[in-house]
A and B are shown apart, each in its own frame.
Chain A
Amino acid sequence: MSRKSSSIPFHLMMLPAMVLLAIFSIYPMFGVILAFEDFNPSKGIWGSPFVGLENFSYMFQIPEIQQILYNTVFIAVSKIIFTEAAALTFALLLHELRLRLLKRVIQTVVYLPHFISWVLLGGIVANIFSLDGIVNTALAAFGAPEAIMFLGSNPWFPGIVIGTHVWQEFGFGAVIYLAALTGIDPTLYEAAEIDGAGRLRRLTSVTLPGITTTIVLLVLLNLQNVLNAGQEQILNLYNPLVYQSGDIIDTYVYRAGLKELQFELATAVGLLKSVVSFFFITVSYFLASKFANYRIF
């Protein structure tokens, strides 16, 4: 049997997936021409008049576009940095634990929040940070003069958004690091121990070098998220008082696109975000292959 014929069944197995991909991912991509149209639902995507780049130029004339872009990038980048840092630290700490059962339990508990929707979390967070919530009660116990309206305060709001995101996601992020850590050859540790290396020395000389590629890879792949500040989360937490520090591209598009029926604008913004993300994915892929030797193709 030649190599070619033996691979045919495998290709056939891929066929349904490819068909689904074509129907649900590739065909709808034609819909992005909406971004260049003055969309009229009854005429449909193919019948609406073209307006060229008008939707894009309008987008950049939005008076507060700078503020919104700044908020988006600031929140998104902070989220990436702090989530990865927390996940890594947590994975390293957990890795040092000897009791397997305790390790499993902790790991499960910390990644649970990842599966809770922000519709629910939003209410919980709002409650915790409310004027008579846990945080303010604790602060008052330590003698804080006045309750702080955290979710209505521009200095605090981005911090809370980033902090609660980190809390929600770091446990899940740690799973990959933990997997990488178990991949390190145990004989290396034994050798290091015989050579007289202490715990800290083993961490810096064996553990960290062993997962450097994973760290670099995860950070690079996260570059695609620099414009994703978390629509679902912010939509459930923000309010007019913190538009200044919390209004991001996605929430603006939600208000303008869906509430005011400007679908073409929403698509234009979405397309722009996709293009930026695509750029970063490409860049990060090349960087990943260069620094972490990671290749898909």
Chain B
Amino acid sequence: MKNLHWGNPLAWALAFALILGLIGCAPQASQDAAVAAPKSAVAPGGKPNKDPFGPLPEKTVLTVFKTEADYDLHLNKGETQLDNLYVKTFGQKLNIDYQFPIVMKGGPAANDKLNLMIASNDLLDVNFVGIDTFNQMVKADMLQDLTESYNDFASVPVRENYTTDNGKALEMVTRNGKLYGIPAMGTVHNSDPLLWIRQDWLDKLGLKGPSNMAELEAVLKAFVEKDPDGNGKKDTVGLIGQQDFINESPQGYAYDAIFTAYKSYVRNWITKADGTVEYGSIQPETKAALAKLRELYAAGLLPKDFPITKPEQAQEPIVAGRAGAFFGPWWAGWSPLTDVIKANPKAVWRAYVIKNVDGKSYSKQEAPVAGIAVLKKGYKYPEALIKSINYYFQVQVDDPALIGGDPYNGKDPNADWAAVPVALGLWRADAVIRDHMGMAANAEGKPMPFAVTKYNEKYYKDVAAAWVKGEDWLKANPDSFGDAFSRFIGVQPIIDAATIPVFSAYYGTTPTLEKRKVNLDKLEVQAFLNIIVGDKPVDSFDEFVKQWKEMGGTAVTQEVNSMLK
């Protein structure tokens, strides 16, 4: 007999009830915010009218939801992500007592934890959320209005940083003329899926780097059939894949790029010629892409088990040296390639852009908002959040001299940004290309094409210096490999192909989508997989489109269109 086992419904009901029941009732005025408000409450750019780096009037506790970094933060001996010079110095200068009651590894588990904390209205002061969660929290009236604090305290460099996307990110976290969060901007081209490929295999087989689907298919066929690793076994996997093969913004080891090559923008909202907005996955172009994927799968050019491969397992064949091609972002040089070259230093990796059927390069993008720092409603000094971010921005991005220098002054390599108390990745929206240009100029000994911050000046120099030492040196020094290799090998193809960024016409949710997203996503992924693995004919796509519309898709489309008006 198993009584209160976690499989027991009673246990679940009790657990939910327990979590939800133990919090008292905090009656608060509610306010139903419209999901999309066009106007921004704060202007990008401008000046603060109070001291952006001054201390709070009294020592105040600020609790922060912390995501554990899983890499070396380059701190001093004995320091941790929660207890280091940044946390101490920021705290002293700003009169803030930073506390970190929750420390989680990133990913789904951290998300589940945050969602439970929202459900029980038991939030820490500072949380980091995505746009959907943000919308829910605004609707539930859980967030502090930051408009006044931002206008009074946001520093000049932070404000300037927000001009790089023309204020789009700030606009997306504004509801009814009020600013409810501090956004990290999505970085253009940051997740463009490049085809990373074993150049040494290509050379051995006498092939050139593929630039379209036909060439890619020929290369994959050669990889699978001609034993490029020369071990006498037919054990090479084709194009690495994983079960999350379609995404709103492209993910590593996914097949988003293949859809884009057929001009299909799956999981995005696309604007039609007549100005109306429609769901990308149900367009006829998607059918063509699925037909091709089905062919590739049947020919054994995609791993047979990609639908049951979890994202975190996808890189295993690459590290094991059994795979020579995968789609990944420009920063794949850090992960997985740093591990890969450690395991197999002889492998030579290069990145290529797969162009679409018209010979042009397009790519889906990250949402204009990558993450949002939000403050719990009712926090006594809302400027604590703004000031923490001002301070971090000076130390890690702009010019540390302005606030008395980086506490880690002279440390090399410099302490990582994840070590600051409120870590929000405030890169410029155009950072990917710009950083590459800066480093390339350094490497070639040319003058800087634009003004750079003190921090970047040194950073560009360091990376360029590592790069000019050559690939063999980088492979012998894996600590420097990721940065230099990604910045040069990873970014150059995007510039060469003049990739045009494509944004979804709509981000976030709608009332029907909130209720039906699980069903619609399930329907879509099932229909696509059935076609790809050959369980159903390609024409079952039309049946899927019909079902998708009936199951709420039509209503969602209407809602999205009316939101955008």
Contact = CB atoms under 8 A, between A and B. Distances in A.
Interface residues of A, number: 64
A270 B12 contact: yes
A256 B518 contact: yes
A152 B307 contact: yes
Nearest to B242: A239
B525 A240 contact: yes
Contacts of B308: 126, 149, 151-152, 239, 241
A213 interface: no
Interface in B17-73: 17-18, 20-28, 30
**From DSSP, what is the main secondary structure of chain A's interface residues?**
helix
Nearest to B26: A44
B140 interface: yes
Contact of A266 (B8, B14, B16, B21): B16
| Residue with the highest number of chain A CB atoms closer than 10 Å, among B17, B23, B26, B140 | B17
B518 A131 contact: no
Interface stretch (A5-13, A23-31, A98-106, A197-205): A23-31
B534 to A, nearest CB: 12
Contacts of A185: none
A241 B535 CA distance: 10
Contacts of B10: 274, 277-278
Contact of B519 (A40, A64, A232, A239): A64
B404 interface: no
A259 B110 CA distance: 11
Contacts of A240: 243, 307, 522, 525-526, 529
B377 A31 contact: no
Contact of B24 (A44, A62, A131): A44
Nearest to A218: B1
A27 B140 CA distance: 25
Contacts of B226: none
Contacts of B17: 28-32, 34, 267
Interface in B294-309: 304-305, 307-308
Nearest to B525: A240
A263 B526 contact: no
B118 interface: yes
Nearest to B27: A47
Given A243-B522, A267-B13, A28 B22 contact: yes
Interface string B99-125: 000000000000110011011110000
A42 B119 contact: no
A130 B307 CA distance: 12
A40 B30 contact: yes
B522 A41 contact: no
A127 B18 CA distance: 37
A32 B13 contact: yes
B335 interface: no
Given A151-B308, A239-B307, A255 B16 contact: no
Interface in B478-513: none
A149 B13 contact: no
A221 interface: yes
Contact of B121 (A31, A42, A149, A152): A42
B283 to A, nearest CB: 21
Interface in B194-237: none
A207 interface: no
Contacts of A270: 9, 12-13, 16
Interface stretch (A137-145, A188-196, A223-231): A223-231
A135 interface: no
B142 interface: yes
Interface in B519-534: 519, 522-523, 525-526, 529, 533
Given A28-B21, A44-B24, A149-B308, A228 B16 contact: no
A74 interface: no
A239 B243 contact: yes
Contacts of A107: none
A211 B1 CA distance: 16
For the complex of A and B, 8 pairs with smallest distance between CB atoms: A31-B17, A273-B9, A31-B21, A44-B25, A28-B21, A46-B25, A28-B17, A270-B13
Given A31-B17, A243-B522, 6 more contacts: A29-B14, A40-B140, A42-B28, A240-B522, A241-B533, A271-B13
